[in-house]
Amino acid sequence: MEILNQLGIDWPKIIAQIIIFGIVYLVLSKYAFGPVTAMLEQRRSRIAEGEANLGTIRENLAATQAQSAAVLDKANAEASRIVKEAQAAAVAIAEQKRQETVAEAQLIITKAKEATELERTRVLSELKRDFGRLVIETTSKVTGKTLTGEDHARLNKEALSQIG
């Protein structure tokens, strides 16, 4: 005890400092460390949720692309079928009707190609619209803010340039 007094250690002051340190630690852990830790955990969970949403969007995009490819294949098969039918009909008709049949076949082919092109345009339009919507929804969820009209337009333009 005398050695501690010779070193200048005063027990009442040390005990008071330990108590003050404990109080400061408790106050900081309740009002400073706790909210900061909670905020960091909330951010971590939002980031994880955003990554999960990104996976879902990728799956949706792949499904949409597969669906549009199937629609295009079906339209092409239908166009091929129509072309083959027109050619078979042209061969079966007598020589005097041949010129008339060829003209009708060409008309059918043109209509089939126009229908195929219209269907393709419609499917691509739907794909672009859905892709833009998915990108905007994902961006809104990941960033956690409401996007302005300008943000919507910019994101749509960037997304469409990626797929178009």
pLDDT tens, the chain, 164 aa long: 677 777 878 888 889 999 999 999 999 888 888 888 889 999 999 999 998 899 889 999 899 999 999 989 999 999 899 899 888 877 776 777 888 888 999 999 999 999 999 999 998 888 778 877 777 778 777 777 777 778 778 777 777 777 66
Q: Would you say the C-alpha torsion 154, 156, 162, 164 has a positive or negative sign?
A: negative
Q: Would you say the C-alpha torsion 35, 39, 40, 44 has a positive or negative sign?
A: positive
Give the integer Cα–Cα distance in Å for 136 and 145: 11
Give the single-character DSSP code of 32.
I
Element (H, E) at 152: helix 149-163
| pTM (2 d.p.) | 0.34
Q: Would you say the C-alpha torsion 119, 122, 128, 129 has a positive or negative sign?
A: negative
